[in-house]
Amino acid sequence: MNTTQKYCLGVDFGTDAVRCLLVNADSGKIMAEADCLYPRWQKGLYCDAQNKVFRQHPLDYIESLIVVVNKVLQGMDADVVSGIGALSIATTGSTPAPVDKSGMPLALLAGFKEDPDAMFYLWKDHSSIKEAEDINCYNASLGAINGIYLEGVGGFYSPEWLWSKWLHLLRSGSDAAKACYAFVEHADWMPFLLTGGKDVKTLKRNICAAGHKGLWSEKWNGFPPESFLKGVDPLLSDCNSRMSSVVYDSVKSAGTISSDWAEKLGLPGDVRIGIGALDAHMGAVGGQIEPYFLSKVMGTSTCDMLVVPAAEFQKKQIIGICGQVPDSIIPGMIGMEAGQSAFGDVYNWFSKFLLAPLGWLGISNDATPESLLNILSEKAASLNLDEWRQLPLSTDWFNGRRSPDVQPLLKAAITGLELATDPVMVFASLVEATCFGSRAIVERFVDSGIPVKGIIGLGGIAHKSSFVMQRMADILNRPIKCNRANQCCALGAAMFAATQAGWYDNIEVAMQQMGQGLLTTYLPNTDAKWRNVIEERYQRYKQLGYFIEQEAAKELAVSLH
């Protein structure tokens, strides 16, 4: 890297807000940061939780991006602003939108501005459960030799992902379905937008989303062939031809910022825009992921990322995770993803569940969900061994199960309630359940021949809740080291920005130079009595989960007939 000081921007489009970091690419110093809530999303627009519909308007992304970039530049010296040479973006995923041939999301066109079908389908939109099941069933019908199309995504396709969402729209027969030319991931559309893209055929798709969510594979030289998609449903005919077979890793550049967007953001006209990626994948880089260390990005959900050097990978298929894709996290390594569909969302649900009746009854209360969670955590941390043994037993499937073994129809359970049960006990049980879900993921990797040499904690919960992190260390029976990066996804994007600009030879060097280092380490409780209680309750958790799965299978069989 040359001696001239350089600056870059890392932008992270999360579930509720967009965050932006201005970073000194030489030292990794955070010069400024800002965030902006999506205004329409905050009002609950275009969502129907009862029917698992969660849509976001592209204007939320556009307007919020302008706000946060201008915020981080406010008050900066002219030489700092002129030194900004690169910008890269992380987004939630799979969060695709229907677009026309120009690559314009339909919701930005006249006639579709208030149509949820024309917007981005947020990752947690599960309205396409039937479509995902049809993809799974058709792949299974091809047999062991031909049914290979889901090997790279753990053997199961999810309603959270691109093809099920696209098929769901097409089956609706709506005006948006008729106007849709292609489906485009948020992580791909943002760089396309910022570089002034006008033709969807020139849009550069990232290997991260394409491989983990879109079934892209070198085995069939691109996205799934026409024969497979048509076999799932004839409505998917010709969709493959609208998807470029070429994909890019995030150390590549998508191009130079357009003059229009340079003006809107107040940036120099030669800023290089990087290929995008999913937030957790860039977050793992921002948190300085290491080979065989499971990097847990812990927020509303969790994404658990692990990398294995390609030269050491024995082409194992890990059943039940969210994919194993070359170069999806770090070029030259196999990127593996697993996760939980609800993590922080579980705690948030419980706090709102407790507070909501006060509002319904018109009772004034200054408590917020966050303040209530702090109180519950403090009291739950003081529970002794006997009290912990008597807790209710819960499962963590409040938004279905992502991994191991995706099953969006599963429901959560809280069992063993009695008149003596209080909110602290229920909360502690829910925390335990989310940690048990994490343990099941670790065990799936290990049982599949992928060693997990350590755990890295990232994201909001890793910084905000020592109670959750300590329980996680106890239940995994492994130390958890938490990275100091407060906004690891945005920082990871900044690292990729610096690399794609040519300032670093590879992303590993950028991680070392720009990384924030260790914040703290949580060590597991090694007391034999505590270990016995944890093991006994974990076995009961698995038994309870098995029972719920069997009942869900019966309900599904009835509904299909």
Q: Tens digits of per-residue pLDDT, 178-219?
A: 999 999 999 999 999 999 999 999 999 999 999 999 999 999
Q: For position 79, which CATH number holds?
A: 3.30.420.40
Are residues 162 and 68 both part of a single domain?
yes
520 within a domain of the structure (yes/no): no
For residue 384, what pLDDT band results from cuts at 50, 70 and 90?
A: very high
Tell me, yes or no, whether 177 lies in a domain: yes
Residue 305 belongs to a domain: no
Reported as a pLDDT band with limits 50, 70 and 90, residue 2 is very low
* 282 and 395 together in one domain: no
Region 36-57: mean pLDDT is: 96
State the pLDDT at residue 3.
45
The CB density around residue 266, as the number of other CB atoms within 10 Å, is 15
Residues 355 and 269 in one domain: no
CA distance 15 to 70: 21
Residue ending a domain, among 269, 287, 305, is 287
Q: Does residue 252 sit in the same domain as residue 112? A: yes
Domain boundary among 245, 272, 287: 287
Does residue 328 lie within any of the structural domains? no
Task: Determine the Cα angle at 231 with ends 240 and 209, to 5°.
Answer: 40
pLDDT at 512: 95
Q: Domain of 230? A: 7-287
Alpha carbons within 13 angstroms on the beta-carbon side of residue 551 total 10
Are 74 and 174 within one domain? yes
By C-alpha distance, which of 248, 108, 239 is closest to 165? 239
Answer yes or no: do 140 and 24 share one domain: yes
- Is residue 493 situated within a structural domain? no
Q: Same structural domain for residues 156 and 239?
A: yes
Does residue 27 sit in the same domain as residue 145? yes
Alpha-carbon gap, residue 507 to 498, rounded angstroms: 9
The rounded mean pLDDT for the chain is 94
Statement to judge: residues 247 and 357 lie in one domain: no
Same domain, 274 and 410: no
The residue out of 242, 262, 287 marking a domain boundary is 287
The pLDDT assigned to 406 comes to 87
Cβ neighbours for 71, distance < 8 A, ≥ 6 positions apart: 20, 32, 34, 36
Q: What percent of the chain is predicted at pLDDT more than 90?
A: 88
* Cβ atoms of residues 497 and 274 within 8 Å: yes
pLDDT at 473: 98
What is the pLDDT at residue 186? 98
Claim to verify: residue 253 and residue 353 sit in the same structural domain: no
Q: Verify that 280 and 353 share a domain, yes or no.
A: no
Answer yes or no: is 332 within a domain.
no
Asked if 212 contacts 153 with a C-beta cutoff of 8 angstroms, the reply is yes
Domain count within the chain: 2
Q: What is the value of pTM for the model shown? A: 0.93
The tens digit of pLDDT for each residue in 54-74 reads 999 999 999 999 999 999 999
Q: Is residue 333 part of a domain?
A: no
**pLDDT tens per residue, range 275-331:** 999 999 999 999 999 999 999 999 888 999 999 999 898 778 899 999 999 999 999
Residue 363 has pLDDT above 60, yes or no: yes
DSSP label of 222: B
Q: Which two tokens stand for residue 313?
A: 């990978």
Q: Is residue 503 part of a domain?
A: no
